[in-house]
Amino acid sequence: MAYLSVQDLTIGYPQRKVPVVKRINLELQAGEISCLLGPSGCGKTTVLRAIAGFVLPSSGRMDLAGRCIVCIDETSQHSLINLPTEKRQVGMVFQDFALFPHLNVAKNIAFGLGTHTAAQSAARVKEMLELVGLEAEAQCYPHELSGGQQQRVALARALAPQPTLLLLDEPFSSLDASLREKLSHELRRILKTCHTTAIVVTHDQQEAFSISDTVGVMREGQIEQWDTAYNLYHRPATRYVANFVGEGVFVPGYLRGKGETAHVETEVGSIPAQVLASSRPLPEGNSPFDVLLRPDDVLHDDSAPLQALVLRKAFRGADFLYTLQLPSGREVLALVPSHHNHHPGESIGIRLDADHLVAFKANN
């Protein structure tokens, strides 16, 4: 049985004709960290607020830790069960941290421990300070802390009451890129140490991938794919996921041969058909389909007969991301070690090295 189960969740507002969230289904196991990933306005924060109890769904059911917290009849939109927010035992870390400016770090963390004795509260605060590495800042006030320290105080405060589920809404959006990467790994360590089940909302792919066990890619109020980061990148279920996650381009492909000799021909090279990374059948004959090529599928090889023109390059430290023009005029991407420093206008040899095949119906 799933620890959190969301079934056919639909959320709408009277002033909007189209629901913000449309029949979403998802499950989390105990101790799992999941992420809702998508662009602004796709409904991911609305789902989070509904789980917390801040938004009443139009229909659907949610079960948490063996009890139903929401059940709305789809036909009448009548609330059969709607557990109040304070009884759901759900912790939340807000985008702006929402720390109390007049309370020091220790008192901010202790805020949600009203039912504890003074000794129990002090012991729990001490434990949380050690967990997030802020023992020396216990008496500091929020304005005296860095953004990363404030984020850790907000996390400690949310974890202190030992919530059944922790929800985090864009927890790193106000921090700079280098700090976000560092704290995302730290957040995962803390949540795993506490065996906390959590859902994180973000629009940042790297953040989602570094924190989560599973990721749900959202689009216009629906989940396009709920999967591991690896499968989202290498086995996207839809063209939208393929375009949204990572970088890549589509090139025409044609199925040639049958059985074990079947392969897919593209302008860059051929790929064995048996390594198809989806259940979608490939059209036979001369009907083209679109093959997804990631930058790491296209290798720089000076001895390769196929030459491509360097159009643009982006330096990434260890690598360059090259935008290359094929003889047909079509463009592909290639990730090349940075000691191969070529300039726009040069031609380089490339070859295909794809060990799996992602294909979709041709987008005419």
What residues of the chain score a pLDDT lower than 70?
Answer: 76-77, 285, 364
Domain ranges in the chain with CATH number 2.40.50.100:
247-361
Beta bridge partners of 26: 6
Provide the mean pLDDT of the chain.
Answer: 92
The answer to whether residues 334 and 299 touch, using CB atoms and an 8 Å cutoff, is: yes
Alpha-carbon distance of 107 to 102, in angstroms, equals 9
Q: For residue 77, what pLDDT is reported?
A: 65
Alpha-carbon distance of 60 to 82, in angstroms, equals 11
Alpha-carbon distance of 180 to 239, in angstroms, equals 29
Q: For residue 277, what pLDDT is reported?
A: 81
| Helices within 21-168 (DSSP H only) | 44-52, 105-110, 118-132, 147-159
Domain ranges in the chain with CATH number 3.40.50.300:
4-89+163-242
- State the pairing for strand pair 198-202/165-169: parallel
The H or E element spanning position 360 is strand 359-361
Find, among 211, 207, 214, the residue nearest to 232 by Cα. Answer: 214
With 0-12 CB in 10 A as exposed, 13-18 as middle and 19+ as buried, what is 107?
Answer: middle
pTM higher than 0.95: no
Q: What is the DSSP string of 246-310?
A: S--EEEEEEEES-GGG-EEE-SS-EEEGGGB-SSPPPPPTT--EEEEE-GGGEEE-TT-S-EEEE
Q: For residue 94, what pLDDT is reported?
A: 87
With 0-12 CB in 10 A as exposed, 13-18 as middle and 19+ as buried, what is 139?
Answer: exposed
Q: For residue 95, what pLDDT is reported?
A: 84
- As its CATH architecture, domain 247-361 has Beta Barrel (2.40)
> What is the 8-class DSSP label of residue 357?
B
CATH code at 4-89+163-242: 3.40.50.300
Instruction: Please name the residues in contact with 116: beta carbons below 8 A apart, sequence gap of 6 or more.
Output: 124
Instruction: Please name the residues in contact with 362: beta carbons below 8 A apart, sequence gap of 6 or more.
Output: 252, 287, 288, 289, 290
The answer to whether residues 247 and 295 touch, using CB atoms and an 8 Å cutoff, is: yes
Instruction: Please name the residues in contact with 127: beta carbons below 8 A apart, sequence gap of 6 or more.
Output: none
